[in-house]
């Protein structure tokens, strides 16, 4: 990667762990400009007018329906908002595209998968790595929905380990075409795709991307998969039997298919995190409305403390993850802007910015999908028996949500990737891990403490610094043992996932703090600052306990004797957020939504 961040004031990818951040350098959804609000409203109007009227039909896969809705979205320009104008796109900024993806997530059926495939893993390989001829032939009609695209990576024996694919491509003697043989599975949109982005091993060992036209002899499809959820999405196996592909349809360079796969997945993870935010917002809205309507013991169930706890916790988790989403979006946007100012093309800047924040994209995928699963699970519980009935939207939301923890790389893979990406950048000296880690060791030896920050949120600023110190202490100690040959983190995935959770929780907590601080300076906001402060304090209380638990689990897994005692003592020192009345704070949040009869933050 060409890392050109010299002119960039924002943090590098992963650098949030090593440096302080300022709320002045982030973006929050409450400060959307008029253009972004107009685009958001256009998406909501499209959903209301084009998707909700056929919502019942989209409970199952109906031939031609996905294609029709996709074409209607393309007519409004909604498939090309992140694409260059030269190919029929609108070149909207990253934050605006995040808004679009976020609110499309509220659809709550398998069409969101179709939309995400077309605009993400379908178009991006062509944008990033296609030749000019390939872009004109395949990307332009993809943006207009004249051609539908699918992405063929997964195989029966290679899911998370994508590079072990067995599908093979061999060059003909005259060099004019490749012959592809193999099998792909779980391929979204394959049932109606015109263009197939396919990965195969050239000569059996050079992982390479290809563009394959639908209808090519030898390309056949399996039956539609019977899935737990996302029924409106087409999912089939794709078979290749002596499929001849012109040599000019190689995508990128021979043997560099991994660059296509990994770079596209970065954006896919960020988009998935955004859609999970939109879906969770809808889930909370349904929960509040039902809780107000449903009466038991002669009063609405919304008046009961147990239900208020659920509504408050749903909202707090969503609000925190939403803060992280728009923070990461803005980081990518700022780098992209600086790169273009420095002479990079729109496409180059888009690719580099997503690669730079690969770690943050992985975090968004994990926290977004797990938050969304929590929200829809509690939505079912709030609905009680009706939640288990197909008569309600929350039943389908529950089934549709579950896939998000699996595709775009399982959450386990993304947890491992988060720590691995950080350590690779440290080893390449792209990030200075050593200096802050040594400063933490010095602080522990001298017995000094982190001072309170200034102003109203000084305690929270101190807590974030302490969370980061806890991570540096635990990860630094584990890394030291590995360098000494006393620990093999590749074989100790539980430790890596403990540390990854500490990193993710800290990123979200800091993002939430930055948003609350910025909200404090806005003259116009949806609710009073008291509500936002309640969200902040509950989340920090919960994350303090969670980071303490994850840190302890990691430490006792690799340290012994005095070393273990010293690390545990340090961990206790760094996880001392003052206790608050979380019941009262959650009720305040819940009561706000109950009074508004829906999600109102």
Closest residue by Cα to residue 384 from 462, 329, 491, 306:
306
Helix/strand/coil percentages in the chain, nearest 5: 60, 10, 30
Partners of 212 in the β-ladder: 196
Catalytic site includes residue 356? no
Q: Which of 502, 500, 491 is nearest to 558 (CA)?
A: 491
Pairing of strands 177-188, 235-246: antiparallel
Q: Which residue, among 99, 2, 90, 8, has the nearest Cα to 332 in the 3D structure?
A: 8
Residues found in the chain: 601
Write down the catalytic residue from 15, 313, 408, 460: 408
Instruction: Assess contact for 433 and 441: CB atoms under 8 A.
Output: no
Task: Report yes or no: 261 and 128 within 8 Å, Cβ to Cβ.
Answer: no
Distances (CA, A) of 61 to 55, 119, 426, 565: 11, 20, 47, 57
Residue 357 CA: distances (Å) to CA of 91, 263, 339 = 20, 11, 14
Whether 244 contacts 218, CB under 8 Å: yes
Burial group, residue 560, by CB count within 10 angstroms (0-12, 13-18, 19+): exposed
As a whole number of Å, the CA-based R_g of the chain is 24
Burial code (b: 16+ CB inside 10 Å, e: under 16) for 362-375 equals bbbbbbbbbbbbbb
| Calpha distance 279→273 (Å, rounded) | 10
- CA diameter of the chain: 82
Distance set, CA 399 to CA 51, 107, 181, 396 (Å): 19, 14, 34, 5
**Which residues are annotated as catalytic?**
408
């Amino acid at each position: 990667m060409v890392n050109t961040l010299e002119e960039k004031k924002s943090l590098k990818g992963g650098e949030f762990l090593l440096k302080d951040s300022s709320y002045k350098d982030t973006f929050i959804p409450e400060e959307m400009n008029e253009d972004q609000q107009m685009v958001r409203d256009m998406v909501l109007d499209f959903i209301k007018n084009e998707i909700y009227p056929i919502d019942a039909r989209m409970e199952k896969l109906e031939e031609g329906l996905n294609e029709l809705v996709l074409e209607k979205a393309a007519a409004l320009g909604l498939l090309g908002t992140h694409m260059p104008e030269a190919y029929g796109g609108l070149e909207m900024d990253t934050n605006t595209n995040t808004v679009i993806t976020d609110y499309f997530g509220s659809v709550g059926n398998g069409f969101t998968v179709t939309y995400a495939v077309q605009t993400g893993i379908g178009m991006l390989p062509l944008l990033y790595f296609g030749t000019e001829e390939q872009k004109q032939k395949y990307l332009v009609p993809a943006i207009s929905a004249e051609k539908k695209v699918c992405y063929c990576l997964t195989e029966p024996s290679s899911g998370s380990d994508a590079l072990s694919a067995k599908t093979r491509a061999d060059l003909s003697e005259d060099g004019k075409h490749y012959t592809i043989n193999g099998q792909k599975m779980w391929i979204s949109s394959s049932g109606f795709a015109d263009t197939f982005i396919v990965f195969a091993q050239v000569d059996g060992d050079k992982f390479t991307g290809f563009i394959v036209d639908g209808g090519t002899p030898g390309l056949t499809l399996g039956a539609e998969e019977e899935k737990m959820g996302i029924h409106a999405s087409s999912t089939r196996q794709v078979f290749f039997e002596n499929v001849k592909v012109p040599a000019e349809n190689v995508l990128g360079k021979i043997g560099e298919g991994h660059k296509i796969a990994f770079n596209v997945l970065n954006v896919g993870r960020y988009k998935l995190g955004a859609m999970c935010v939109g879906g969770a917002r809808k889930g909370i809205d349904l929960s509040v409305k039902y809780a107000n309507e449903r009466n038991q013991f002669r009063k609405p169930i919304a008046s009961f403390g147990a239900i208020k706890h659920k509504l408050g916790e749903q909202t707090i988790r969503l609000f925190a993850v939403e803060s992280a989403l728009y923070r990461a979006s803005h980081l990518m946007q700022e780098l992209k802007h600086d790169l273009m100012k420095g002479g990079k093309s729109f496409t180059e800047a888009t690719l580099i910015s997503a690669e730079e924040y690969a770690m943050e994209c992985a975090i968004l995928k994990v926290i977004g999908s797990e938050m969304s699963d929590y929200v829809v699970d509690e939505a079912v519980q709030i609905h009680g028996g009706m939640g288990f009935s197909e008569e309600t939207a929350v039943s389908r939301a529950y089934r549709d949500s579950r896939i998000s923890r699996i595709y775009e790389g399982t959450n386990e893979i993304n947890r491992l990737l988060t720590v691995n990406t950080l350590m690779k950048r440290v080893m390449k000296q792209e990030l200075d891990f050593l200096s802050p880690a040594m400063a933490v060791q010095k602080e522990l030896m001298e017995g000094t403490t982190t001072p309170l920050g200034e102003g109203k949120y000084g305690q929270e600023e101190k807590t974030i610094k302490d969370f980061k110190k806890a991570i540096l202490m635990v990860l630094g100690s584990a890394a030291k043992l590995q360098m000494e040959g006393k620990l093999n983190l590749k074989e100790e995935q539980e430790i890596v996932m403990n540390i990854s959770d500490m990193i993710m929780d800290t990123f979200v907590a800091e993002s939430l703090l930055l948003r609350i601080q910025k909200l404090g300076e806005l003259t116009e906001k949806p609710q009073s600052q008291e509500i936002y402060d309640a969200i902040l304090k509950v989340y920090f209380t919960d994350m303090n306990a969670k980071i303490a638990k994850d840190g302890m689990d990691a430490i006792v897994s690799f340290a012994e004797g005095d070393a273990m005692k010293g690390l545990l003592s340090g961990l206790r020192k760094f996880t001392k957020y003052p206790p608050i009345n979380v019941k009262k704070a959650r009720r305040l949040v819940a009561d706000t939504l109950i009074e508004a009869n829906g999600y109102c933050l």
